[in-house]
């Protein structure tokens, strides 16, 4: 089964609109865990528009499941990740003012700065995943520079699914996953996955983990967070993640 890591960014976004700690990111994490989520993901951004650095420390104190911290490895980000030592750190090449994550790493140009960062994280026992597009040469490079996993950036898949043009795009993802697996990289996936497009994506064999936030939290407004997590787990229960 593909594991589900629930991204709590959007819980924090709502929380930040008042000074009441409501909704509580910690309470949301516990609800997701009680519903069976395999992990919790957060993506602290430099402007702390949703997850604050303090949330990362607070979550690290209470989590009983995999903790995945995503972000651009700025000095501030690296300091917090090295202190908290989550299970997994997913490095994402997003600009400080990015609306949301909008691309994978270009390892033909960005490898040199990543090599020591990956090594530093691995020396602390943190699994390193790189946010990547479906380019096979880039995926090869991810393995060469020491990544443990890649996270396939699924926005293009989600858009293709929505616009009814998904088959050729899906094949690119299946090929990318197969390439990664053939050279020993684990494969995660995320961005704009939802209850409709998730099942097809995870029919790709060996997707180890999906991280899902925006759509899951939107679904939670209708069905409650506990039930939303259950619904996503139900879709994933038919998949072959490992
Ligand atoms: C890395 C990634 O794909 C993101 O989906 C992310 O964590 C979402 O970020 P926002 O919630 O800030 O859009
Ligand atoms: N890594 C992707 C993620 O954590 C969640 O992305 P989204 O579901 O909020 O688009």
Tell me the per-residue pLDDT of 52-86, one tens digit each, with 9 for 90 and over: 999 999 999 999 999 999 999 999 999 999 999 99
Mean pLDDT taken over the chain: 97
238 within a domain of the structure (yes/no): no
The residues pairing with 40 across neighbouring beta strands, listed in sequence order, are: 6, 67
What pLDDT shows up at residue 13?
Answer: 98
Domain extent, residue 199, equals 3-233
Annotated active-site residue 70? The verdict is yes
Residue 18: inside a domain: yes
Q: Which atom of ligand 2 is nearest to the CA of 70?
A: 1
**Number of domains, the chain:** 1
What is the ipTM for the molecules in this complex? 0.96
Q: Whole-model pTM?
A: 0.97
Residue 90, domain CATH: 3.20.20.70
CA distance 163 to 227: 28
Q: How far apart are CA 180 and CA 141, in angstroms?
A: 10
Most ligand 1 atoms within 8 A of CB, residue of 11, 86, 191, 210 to mutate: 191
Average pLDDT rounded to a whole number, residues 105-110: 95
- Let me know if residue 241 belongs to a domain: no
Residue 240 included in any domain = no
């Amino acid at each position: 089964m593909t594991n589900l890591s629930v991204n709590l960014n959007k819980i924090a976004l709502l929380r930040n609109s008042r000074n009441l700690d409501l909704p509580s990111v910690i309470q949301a994490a516990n609800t997701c865990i009680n519903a069976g989520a395999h992990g919790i993901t957060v993506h602290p951004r430099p402007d702390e528009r949703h997850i604050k650095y303090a949330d990362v420390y607070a979550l690290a104190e209470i989590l009983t499941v995999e903790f995945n911290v995503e972000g651009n490895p700025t000095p501030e980000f690296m300091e917090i990740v090295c202190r908290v030592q989550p299970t997994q750190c997913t490095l994402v090449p997003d600009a400080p003012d990015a609306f949301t994550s909008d691309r994978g790493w270009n390892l033909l140009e960005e490898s040199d700065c990543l090599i020591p960062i990956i090594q530093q994280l691995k020396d602390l026992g943190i699994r390193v995943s790189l946010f990547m597009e479906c380019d096979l040469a880039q995926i090869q490079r991810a393995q060469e520079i020491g990544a443990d996993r890649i996270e396939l950036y699924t926005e293009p898949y989600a858009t293709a699914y929505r616009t009814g043009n998904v088959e050729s795009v899906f094949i690119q993802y299946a090929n990318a996953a197969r390439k990664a697996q053939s050279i020993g990289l684990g494969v995660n996936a995320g961005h704009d996955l939802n209850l409709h497009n998730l099942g097809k994506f995870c029919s790709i064999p060996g997707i180890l983990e999906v991280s899902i936030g925006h759509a899951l939290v939107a679904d939670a407004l209708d069905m409650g967070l506990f039930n939303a997590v259950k619904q996503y787990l139900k879709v994933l229960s038919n998949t072959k993640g490992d």
